[in-house]
Amino acid sequence: MVRPYSEDLRERVVGAVEGGLSRRKVASLFDLGASTVVNWVRRFHDTGSVAASPIGGDHRSRLGSEREWILQRTEAEPDLTLEELRAELRQRGVRVGYGTVQRFFEREEFSFKKNRARRRARAA
């Protein structure tokens, strides 16, 4: 898993810039990207801290409020594709990506099983 740079390194980098060195010079001294140094210094000026922001984000589903409707809809029409479901959600005012819909069904442990009766005949 990715971890943020240490707070000690961040303090030394910001201290070097505050001491008068250019951001690019500090970036090359500490073997960092110039944009990283710029962002750390900006964060220090904005918040007074060099601490990293929390990693990750909101992991709640954007489809939680639509759960009952989605389950009823897939029960009524089992052959509905994820793209068709996305289009219907869009009509309901919910704009989500393909992956969001797919993860919703994974969390619900809903699987799309093929119907054996509909399988094509195999070549002899």
pTM of the predicted protein model: 0.50
pLDDT band at 117 (very low <50, low <70, confident <90, very high): low
Interhelix angle 82-91/98-107, rounded to 10 degrees, is: 110
Determine the Cα–Cα distance for residues 30 and 101; give it in Å rounded to an integer: 43
In the predicted structure, residue 93 carries a pLDDT above the cut 70:
yes
Specify the pLDDT at position 106: 87
Specify the pLDDT at position 49: 94
pLDDT band at 114 (very low <50, low <70, confident <90, very high): low
Query: 90, 84 in Cβ contact below 8 A?
Result: no
pLDDT band at 26 (very low <50, low <70, confident <90, very high): very high
CA angle, residues 98, 64, 61, in degrees to nearest 5: 55
Q: Look up tokens 């250019």; give the residue.
A: 22
In the predicted structure, residue 85 carries a pLDDT above the cut 80:
yes
Helix, strand or coil for residue 49?
coil
For all residues of the chain together, what is the average pLDDT?
Answer: 87
Q: What is the mean pLDDT of residues 13-29?
A: 97
Among the listed ranges 13-22, 40-49, 90-99, which one has the minimum average pLDDT value? 90-99
